[in-house]
Amino acid sequence: MTSTFHSFHSLLLLSLLGIGASAEAQAPKGLSFQATLESIKIEAQPQQVVTRQFKLTLDPDQPETRFKARIEDWWRSDDGVQSFYAEPGTLRHSCGRWVSLNPVESSVKPGETLIIRITVSVPPEMASGGYWCALTVDEIPDPRTVQSGVGVKFVASVSTGIFVNVGTIERSARILDLQAGPETVLVKLRNDGNAPVGIDGRLEFYAMGAFTPTAVAVVPRGTLLTEPLLEGTLTSRLPPAAELPSGRYRVRAILDFGAPHYIGAEREMELIRASPPIQDR
């Protein structure tokens, strides 16, 4: 998957002139580029060496830009909204210390492509299971573009996951609970296997006594890790109230987690949809 990006991290630039500092906000114009963002997935055995590539192409109208790459550990909050980063080796199931990058730092001219070679060297003593880390590539601000005063300069930063499955992988997951709100259903899950799993699927809503669903909602894809949390939550948005009005339903979850079989759960729920705003006449 190749995606277009505009920079989304900001760097605060400070310069004191004389007694005080003037405040002048720069226009929030960032770098634009194309990057391959599919997670890097590797099947390997102890002592095996595997190589992959990450590519980033500057748009033709962009200035020459310098980038620096690094490996980090990462994990997510229970609800999957927040991502956290730390030094390689922070997590027990980190593969960060096995990964080397070349080049670590490089300049890219307009329209050219930065290719980072990723080498994964699995240690001989590694037990079977799933290990992961993140590749992060940051734009290095050009010091020649620093302006006087106080301003915000947007710098690009992009991360992608590296997943290494070593030896025999046991995929096992289960649905712990389904919880309904006015506009969403929360699907609470637990990873009982020995490797991270990607999970997605659908929710089917059946009126009481019905055999065909009134509506179907997508459960967007998420990743369930094995540490620091075994449990996680996926959030599915309900269909429009006109399609799925307030009422009591049997809600059936059907999820694919990469095993030969799906996992499912069903429970009765009372859906109370938010009332639409009253329009002024």
Q: Are 205 and 268 in contact (CB under 8 A)?
A: no
Indicate whether 142 and 248 sit together in one domain: no
Phi and psi angles of residue 145, each rounded to the nearest 5 degrees, phi first: -95, 0
Task: Report the pLDDT value the prediction gives residue 181, as an integer from 0 to 100.
Answer: 87
The CATH number of the domain holding residue 111 is 2.60.40.10
The rounded radius of gyration (Å) of the Cα atoms in the chain is 24
Of the residues 150, 166, 182, the one at which a domain ends:
166
For residue 252, pLDDT beyond 50: yes
End position of a domain, from candidates 166, 184, 215: 166
Same-domain pairing of 154 and 250: no
Query: Whose CA is closest to 203, among 245, 259, 272, 264?
Result: 264
Question: Looking at the structure, do residues 97 and 136 belong to the same domain, yes or no?
Answer: yes
* CA gap 179, 234 in Å, rounded: 11
pLDDT tens digits, one per residue of 193-229: 999 999 999 999 999 999 999 999 999 999 999 999 9
Do 162 and 200 fall into the same domain?
Answer: no
- Residue 280 maps to a domain: no
For 235, the domain range is 173-271
Residue 132 has pLDDT above 60, yes or no: yes
pLDDT value at residue 33: 85
Task: For residue 9, give the nearest of 98, 124, 138 by alpha carbon.
Answer: 138
Per-residue pLDDT tens digits for 42-89:
999 999 999 999 999 999 998 899 999 999 999 999 888 889 999 999
